[in-house]
């Protein structure tokens, strides 16, 4: 405990980047799990059924996606 009081600046220098990494790098990765599970707002991210790539197949198989994709591709690279 004495070392913490004595070297509190060093602990602070280590703590700030650690908290930053946790909050802005690792916690958002949990959101990626939602893409592969049945999502119910307000429920647990890990407690739902695993659906794999079903939602991606539905998204890419929709005609609206391809209109959206073509429009944004032309706007991004065409002009």
Would you write out the chain's pLDDT as a tens digit for each of its 79 residues?
Answer: 788 889 999 999 999 999 999 999 988 888 788 888 887 888 777 777 888 899 899 999 999 999 999 999 999 987 6
The CA-to-CA distance between both ends of the chain, in Å, stands at 63
CA distance 24 to 26: 6
Residue 59, domain extent: 7-78
Asked if residue 11 is part of any domain, the answer here is yes
pTM across the whole model: 0.53
Q: How many domains does the chain have?
A: 1
């Amino acid at each position: 405990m004495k070392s913490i009081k004595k070297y509190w600046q060093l602990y602070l220098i280590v703590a700030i980047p650690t908290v930053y990494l946790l909050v802005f790098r690792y916690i958002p990765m949990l959101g990626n799990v939602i893409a592969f599970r049945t999502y119910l707002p307000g429920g647990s991210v890990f407690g739902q059924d695993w659906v794999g790539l079903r939602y991606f197949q539905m998204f890419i198989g929709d005609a609206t996606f391809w209109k959206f994709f073509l429009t944004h591709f032309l706007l991004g690279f065409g002009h």
